[in-house]
Amino acid sequence: MKRKKLLALTLVAAIAVGAVTGCGSSSDTGSTSTDTQTAQTETATSGDAAQTTGQADSTGYVYEGTAPITQEEGKSLKILAETSNYSNVDIASARIVTTVVEQSGVDVEWQLLDYNSYQDAATPMLTSGNVDADIVLLPDQDTNQTYIKSGLFAPLDEHFDSMPNFTAWLEANPVIKAEITAEDGHIYYVPGTNVGKDYQPCLMYNQVWLDKAGVEAPETLDEFVELLRYFKENDMNDNGDTTDEIPMSIMSAFLPYMFGPAFGLDLVSGFQADEAGNVTYAYADSVNYKNYLEFLNGLYEEGLLEVEYTSLDRDQVIARISNDLTGVAYDFSWAMSMMYSNVLPYYDGTAATAFVGAKPLSGDYEGYYVGRVELGNMFGVSSSSSDIDLACKFLDYAMSDACQELYQWGILGESYEVDDSGNKYFTEQGQDNDWLQQLGINPSFVFPAQQSVEATDILVADWHAECNAELRQYVVDPWPFIYSTTDESDVVNTYMTDIQTLVDENATAFVTGNRSLDEFDTYINELNAICLGDVLTVKQAQYDRYKAALE
């Protein structure tokens, strides 16, 4: 029933788009995608085998997720991956890595290519089929399914009996599972992950200025504008001059993050889907995006968004903060305590004297922050491997919780300790980054490592870590990673650069008033004329596949 509805929507979208734009071959793309969607829905249940037990090796030993992966003697695997990005770290002999290998019970023959040129070196090896390894770190995320379609990698779901850790993790991470389910319904790669919801870009206020204004951090656009006016009109830095304050210092790339959600727009991802699964392009929203531009144009006209906002860079923001000239910033959370607060002349290490992160702004729509796709490095098992099942077991063990603990914290009693409440903390030696790198911390170059929030918490000020924990609830998933077909990537590659250029140029023109918002409808027509509809048809088909894999 549900599938039928989605299919109907896709066809409607394809017809509507074709009629309006006259661009390309959008209806072809639509029909291809409905075929694959059906195929996928039928095969995407492979993870259900997660609870069954794997095959015994020749000694009768069955791998069930803990080391070793086999009790057979003399087994070995070849792994093609990359060196550490720290050139003085020999990752293959780093203790965290050798510990995993020793525990696994097999020998590993490493083929490590230079981190800085991995993509350039590994891509031709893969495309020419010149790879002699059981496990391969992909040079990219195979977005267009190039390696999958050339048959280079074994479908892992056919070996899920041997991958209890991976299957359990996929069940616990349905978004990632949907993202890495290929168009044919199979799963080919074990991904490392980045932190997706923590330490994301956010709004930050000078807490001392907020206190002088006698207000809490604003929650609505109206409160925010009032605050900017207050900052502009008053001598916030107490130098006797009421004209040197710059109310906010926002690099133009962050304006969409900062104000889009209050207008119901994910301008960060660009493409967004409503609850019914209909995909739209936020920069072509004829009501909300126009309202967004009107709001920014109002800030610009009033001098609250500075004339030079398009050229403002991070160094300039830092210079202003160090001179106590500005009250509001927006940047990656990292900047909060590491680049902004620490240069404030009166910062004493506490939140009371810092640039502090705050809730997102709300307007007609409730505000949110946009997270990032968590998928990192991807590892596949070569279909030409002489022991695919053993390679699957190794990858499965390498992504187990026990190994993730090693990746994130290192060796118990050396790099970290556990306190009475069970919380881990880095030892004094563990806080020495050079030493920690030599230990092989976060070895995402060679294993599917998951970036940890706790390890980042340790590096920032305590109040910053608390602030991150508070803001996490406002972070939403971005547009997901979705595999493309060749036809789809052709359409996107053909049109998207021109579309983005038109969008960027017009955003600036509308905000600065160089182009009147009376011409907004013309702008929408211009977008349609350069085949936005074709791209939307592709995005809709891709999103439909993603949704099907998610269910």
Q: Which two tokens stand for residue 440?
A: 């092989």
Q: Which one of 29-37, 98-106, 164-172, 237-245 is the stretch in contact with Ca ion (CB under 5 A)? A: 237-245
Q: Which residues of 75-101 are buried (b: 16+ CB within 10 A; e: fewer)?
A: bebbbbbbbbebeebebbebbbbebbb
Q: Which two tokens stand for residue 435?
A: 């030493």
Residue 235 CB, nearest approach to Ca ion (Å):
4
Q: Which one of 196-204, 209-217, 227-235, 308-316 is the stretch in contact with Ca ion (CB under 5 A)? A: 227-235
Dihedral (Cα; 386, 388, 390, 392), 10-degree rounding: 160
Residue 454, SS3? Answer: helix
Tell me, residue by residue from 490 to 529, as one string, x for binding to Ca ion by CB under 5 A and - for no binding: ----------------------------------------
Q: Give the type of residue at 475.
A: V
Residue 29 is classified by DSSP as H
Residue 240 CB, nearest approach to Ca ion (Å):
7
429 touching Ca ion, by CB under 5 A: no
Alpha helices in 116-159 (DSSP H): 118-127, 146-149
171 touching Ca ion, by CB under 5 A: no
Tell me, residue by residue from 9 to 38, as one string, x for binding to Ca ion by CB under 5 A and - for no binding: ------------------------------
* Closer residue to Ca ion (CB): 210 or 499: 210
Residue 238 CB, nearest approach to Ca ion (Å):
7
Residue 142 CB, nearest approach to Ca ion (Å):
54
Of 64, 244, 366, 498, the residue at the interface with Ca ion (CB under 5 A) is 244
Q: Which one of 173-181, 234-242, 297-305, 315-323 is the stretch in contact with Ca ion (CB under 5 A)? A: 234-242
Cα–Cα distance, 541 to 192 (Å, whole number)? 26
Cα–Cα distance, 311 to 317 (Å, whole number)? 11
241 touching Ca ion, by CB under 5 A: yes
Residue 331 CB, nearest approach to Ca ion (Å):
23
* Closer residue to Ca ion (CB): 156 or 236: 236
Q: Which two tokens stand for residue 536?
A: 């939307």
* Closer residue to Ca ion (CB): 53 or 239: 239
Dihedral pair phi/psi, residue 272, rounded to 5°: -150, 155
**Nearest C-alpha neighbor of 212 from the set 420, 352, 40, 368:** 352
Cα–Cα distance, 81 to 447 (Å, whole number)? 9
237 touching Ca ion, by CB under 5 A: yes
235 touching Ca ion, by CB under 5 A: yes
Q: Which one of 204-212, 222-230, 240-248, 356-364 is the stretch in contact with Ca ion (CB under 5 A)? A: 240-248
User: Is the Cβ–Cβ distance between 46 and 75 less than 8 Å?
Assistant: no
Instruction: Name the pairing type of β-strands 246-249 and 107-113.
Output: unpaired
366 touching Ca ion, by CB under 5 A: no
364 touching Ca ion, by CB under 5 A: no
Residue 404 is classified by DSSP as H
Size of the site for Ca ion (CB under 5 A): 5
239 touching Ca ion, by CB under 5 A: yes
User: Is the Cβ–Cβ distance between 431 and 445 less than 8 Å?
Assistant: no
Taking CA 69 as the corner, what is the angle to CA 393 and CA 414, rounded to the nearest 5 degrees?
A: 105
Residue 341 CB, nearest approach to Ca ion (Å):
20
* Closer residue to Ca ion (CB): 237 or 452: 237
* Closer residue to Ca ion (CB): 207 or 237: 237
User: Is the Cβ–Cβ distance between 399 and 187 less than 8 Å?
Assistant: no
Residue 223 CB, nearest approach to Ca ion (Å):
22
326 touching Ca ion, by CB under 5 A: no
Q: Which one of 42-50, 233-241, 333-341, 343-351 is the stretch in contact with Ca ion (CB under 5 A)? A: 233-241
* Closer residue to Ca ion (CB): 239 or 525: 239
Q: Which one of 180-188, 242-250, 310-318, 406-414 is the stretch in contact with Ca ion (CB under 5 A)? A: 242-250
Residue 225 CB, nearest approach to Ca ion (Å):
20
| Cis before 68? omega within 30 | yes
Residue 309 CB, nearest approach to Ca ion (Å):
20
Residue 242 CB, nearest approach to Ca ion (Å):
6
Q: Which two tokens stand for residue 419?
A: 């306190």
Cα–Cα distance, 399 to 511 (Å, whole number)? 48
* Closer residue to Ca ion (CB): 239 or 516: 239
Taking CA 196 as the corner, what is the angle to CA 92 and CA 430, rounded to the nearest 5 degrees?
A: 45
Q: Strands of 107-113's sheet, edge to edge?
A: 107-113, 76-82, 135-137, 375-381, 189-193
**Nearest C-alpha neighbor of 166 from the set 69, 40, 74, 42:** 69
* Closer residue to Ca ion (CB): 241 or 308: 241
Binding-site ranges for Ca ion (CB under 5 A): 235, 237, 239, 241, 244
